[in-house]
Amino acid sequence: MNHFNRRQFLMSNLVAGAAIVAGQSLTGRNQNTTEDSLSVNPAIKGMKRKLGKLEVSAQGLGGLPVVGFYGRGVREQSHVNKLYQTAFENGITFFDTAEVYGPLTNEIQVGEAVAAFRKDVVIATKFGFEVDPNHQSGRGRPLNSSPANIRRAVEGSLKRLKTDYIDLYYQHRVDPNIPIEDVAMTIKDLVKEGKILHWGLSEPGLNTIRRAHAVHQVTAIQNEYSLWTRDSEKAVLPLCEELGIGFVPWCPLGYGFLAGAINENTKFGQGDFRAILPRVTPENIVKNLQLLDFIKEWGLRKRATAAQISLAWLQAQKPWIVPIPGTSNLVHLKENLVANSLTFSKDEMAEFNMGLSKIEIAGPKNTQAIIDAMGVEAAAKM
């Protein structure tokens, strides 16, 4: 199969009339297709899932692209406003950001973008690093989940997000210097004060999850999880199911690779951190395109794009899994939403997973690269 760009892979009638209406073929994008010519079936818009006791849209929206993490600089606020308004109008009510995205910039963007419908959406943000109050980024930003720093962080996030409460507050990375019980107790106090409603952990170890949950109920775990990063399946997902914790995959589209946005001819622009990812080096990308071809073949079979197959596969794993693909593109936003309506029969899922098991991924997982690109310290899972 020829390798072609995700933007060339949108099509009309993607899922039995419930998909994007674009008037284009499976293998080529109609040049007349614009964001205004696309519509999402109302049945898709109302789909919900539960993270613990927190109800959210079946798919969320990640904030990194609009701060220029994939290049092209920080997006104009007017564009961000339109993106989030469109997301909300099409059923997305779960918005993910973090103090270190920018740093600080993305919370400001999100706060302004959702101000008009704040009470109708779920905002998730994250704490756990020392952030320069002068808004300057840099390598090696230290971990800090001390009670004092958590309180500093939450007050700043509330102000930037223009809200008086945070729906879901994650510890961005486990701080080995602060007992997780101290973190959980601080969170518990903030819940009593009404400043946060739920909390979660990102990339924690199993013991940390259990210890944190014993002090104050954990609502969600946010780990990197996708068709090419599946280590959470072995133990984290079973533990979430045991404890009634939801799961939020970050980078569910593999930084765009699983959506067909990267191939062997891709030249990354200035500021695009993906240039340092180990899985898309010249020697590894050729091998990993086998996975993308596999996904596209299933897309032809299911009349869906690679992005939709990738997201639908994640959602099919458990009803309490809610991916948060990030985008700054309104066409891709609506394209991604169609995954909510895609289903796999039991036999299809078995066949899909059998084929997937035969594909070897070249290169280590990309988590460390994204940590480095944000200028923060990594933490060992505990």
Which has more pLDDT, 365 or 226?
226
State both tokens at 187: 């969170």
239 versus 35: which is more confidently predicted?
Answer: 239
Name the catalytic one among 70, 84, 101, 255: 101
pLDDT in the model for residue 369: 58
140 CB burial (10 A radius; 0-12, 13-18, 19+): exposed
pLDDT the model gives residue 135: 54
Q: What is the mean pLDDT of residues 301-319?
A: 98
Q: In this predicted structure, what is the pLDDT of residue 143?
A: 95
* In the block, residue with structure tokens 């961005």: 172
> For the residues 355-365, what does the mean pLDDT come to?
95
44/97: higher pLDDT: 97
pLDDT in the model for residue 29: 30
Q: What is the pLDDT of residue 376?
A: 60
> What was the pLDDT predicted at 274?
87
Active site residue 101: yes
pLDDT of residue 25: 30
pLDDT digits (tens, 9 = 90+) for 164-221: 999 999 999 999 999 999 999 999 999 999 999 999 999 999 999 999 999 999 999 9
Q: Is the model's pLDDT at 14 over the cut of 70?
A: no
pLDDT of residue 103: 94
pLDDT value of position 374: 57
DSSP annotation of 309 reads: H
- pLDDT band of residue 367 (cuts 50, 70, 90) is low
Query: What are the structural domains, with CATH classification, of the chain?
Result: 6-374 (3.20.20.100)
pLDDT above 80 (res 1): no
Q: What is the pLDDT of residue 22?
A: 33
Q: Bigger pLDDT: 357 or 138?
A: 357
- Minimal CA–CA distance to 230: which of 294, 317, 338? 317
DSSP run (H or E) holding 358: none
Q: What value does the mean pLDDT take over residues 224-236?
A: 97
Length of the chain: 382
Dist CA 183 CA 103 (whole Å): 22
Give the largest Cα separation in the chain, rounded.
57
The pTM assigned to this predicted structure is 0.89
pLDDT at 118: 98
Between residues 368 and 233, the one the model is more confident about: 233
**pLDDT of res. 32:** 42
pLDDT at 241 over 90: yes
Q: What is the mean pLDDT of residues 208-236?
A: 98
Comparing 130 with 3, which gets the higher pLDDT?
130
The confidence score (pLDDT) of residue 261 equals 93
End-to-end Cα separation, the chain, in angstroms: 43
Dist. CA 303–CA 300, nearest whole Å? 5
Cis ω for the linkage preceding 42 (within 30 of 0): no
In the predicted model, what is the mean pLDDT of residues 143-147? 97
What DSSP line would sit under 316-337, residue for residue? HH-TTB----B-S-HHHHHHHH
Mean per-residue pLDDT over the chain, rounded: 88
As given in the structure block, the two tokens for residue 191 are 């819940």
